[in-house]
A and B are shown apart, each in its own frame.
Chain A
């Protein structure tokens, strides 16, 4: 039972580079989301999706893009990496928006130099 799988686990980028963080879930959940976790800031919502083809912005969306072409996958794209995007990124999925357990991936540790 894989749950939510994130790749890569670690990444170092140079300022200005772009990359995609991958997230896949095998629980047939409609709702998926991306958070970033910074020291002293807790988990902050970047983007979320309530189903295939539907995405919306969260609290800190600037510099990130998402798409949801399938129920299983929800990739997060960094368009032009900046040092301020150094963080730990978590993908989560749940059966219903906010009302049921959110299952988290193991996280991607991103450093932008």
Chain B
């Protein structure tokens, strides 16, 4: 079992829809949770960052972390065609050495149709 599981999609929604993206993980030591957005033929860019459990909101985006279930989510409200991209979850553990490295999910490809 891979440490981080993410449904690769693809996911296609109409403009204005609410999008839910999810990742599950197996390593209970993970403390830092991130969502990256990657447009076609570009490098990933940080979208949301959460430390430990809880929710974080930034405009149309909400990130949730449920450590008891080892489950993280990204919600996009009022989705726009410009949100069409691949969304990668990433997480890391507290500590030095290799355990501090970011572990990425496979990414979910989202398409928002006008």
Contacts and interface: CB of A to CB of B under 8 A. Distances in A.
A42 B102 contact: no
A53 interface: no
Interface stretch (A14-22, A74-82, A98-106): A98-106
Interface residues of B, number: 26
Contacts of B106: 40-42
Interface residues of A, number: 24
Interface stretch (B65-73, B75-83, B88-96): B88-96
Interface string A85-113: 00000101000011101101111000000
B61 interface: no
A33 B98 CA distance: 12
A98 B101 contact: yes
Contacts of A4: 43
A60 interface: no
29 contacts: A33-B101, A35-B104, A40-B8, A41-B106, A42-B106, A43-B107, A44-B104, A45-B101, A45-B102, A48-B101, A50-B96, A56-B97, A56-B98, A58-B98, A58-B101, A90-B44, A92-B43, A97-B92, A97-B96, A98-B102, A99-B100, A101-B49, A102-B44, A104-B43, A104-B44, A104-B45, A106-B42, A106-B43, A107-B42
Interface of A: 4, 33, 35, 40-45, 48, 50, 56, 58, 90, 92, 97-99, 101-102, 104-107
Interface of B: 6, 8, 32, 34, 41-46, 49, 88, 90, 92-94, 96-98, 100-102, 104-107
